[in-house]
Amino acid sequence: MRTFDYSPYYRATVGFDRMFNLLDSVAGQGNANGYPPYNIEKAGENAYRIVMAVAGFSDSELNLTQKENELLVSGKAAPNADGEKEFLYRGIAGRDFERRFQLADHVKVTGAKLANGLLTIELQREIPEEKKARAISIVADAAKPVLTN
């Protein structure tokens, strides 16, 4: 695996150190096995959706946790109640998993549902009013203060 050095960008940017740390952590996650497979969809201007293929898992065997800007999706298969089955071929993976997603600032999980072997996680970006863009007035002559009522 090839590593990328972000240090030249640090000297030309201010306040982006969190983004470069995030890129480093994503590059080193090691989820190379790709299990379970998933899609990330844009569902609207500020809405997103993660769809994971979790065939064989029930809702009680899945766990979703959001802590700050990280979403953790994990699955732990329940032990087989009717004893060990003898498989001639096993193509449906039923192994335990843990998948982490780094979320952008102000992105929250708004819901999740399991249907037809697909876990759908709904996400919404909710930017607080104080973080939204605002117009700033420009004073033409700094010597004469402008009074507003």
DSSP character string of the chain: ------HHHHTT-SS-HHHHHHHHHHHT---TT--S-EEEEE-SSSEEEEEEE-TT--GGGEEEEEETTEEEEEE-PPPPTT-----S---S----EEEEEEPPTTEEEEEEEEETTEEEEEEEE---GGGS-------S-TTSPPP--
Give the residue with greater pLDDT, 82 vs 50.
50
Q: Are residues 75 and 46 in the same domain?
A: yes
Mean pLDDT in residue range 106-114: 95
* Count of structural domains within the chain: 2
- Single pTM value for the model: 0.68
For residue 123, tell me if it sits in a domain.
yes
When pLDDT is averaged across residues 4-26 and rounded to a whole number, the result is: 63
- Verify that 19 and 69 share a domain, yes or no: no
47-77, pLDDT tens digit by residue? 999 999 999 899 999 999 999 889 999 999 8
pLDDT at position 96 = 92
Domain housing 15: 1-30
Same domain for 94 and 48: yes
Same domain as 41, residue 17: no
